[in-house]
Amino acid sequence: MRVGYARTSTTEQRLDLQIDALKQAGCEKVFTDHGVSGSTSARLGLDEALEYARKGDTLVIWKLVQ
């Protein structure tokens, strides 16, 4: 199973584009964090996604930016 994770760093940003892309990539379940900075260690949506995923599942994110 593909499990998706989407995050925005500000409350003004929208998750729609990421969620749509994750669903198009075949993610059956998508977890989100909205308005959570990348420097914040507490990401409840990511924690939920990692807890939900089972051996053999793939965690999919929209993109990484350096």
Q: pLDDT tens digits for 44-53?
A: 999 999 999 9
Whether 9 is a known active-site residue: answer yes
Average pLDDT on 16-39 reads 92
Average pLDDT on 25-53 reads 90
Percentage of the chain surpassing pLDDT 90?
Answer: 70
Question: Domain-by-domain residue ranges, the chain?
Answer: 2-61
What confidence tier does 66 reach under pLDDT thresholds 50, 70, 90? Answer: low
Q: What is the pTM of this model?
A: 0.87
CATH of domain 2-61: 3.40.50.1390
Identified catalytic residue from 9, 37, 39, 41:
9
Burial of 33 (0-12, 13-18, 19+ CB in 10 A): buried
Burial of 51 (0-12, 13-18, 19+ CB in 10 A): exposed
**1, 29 in Cβ contact below 8 A?**
yes
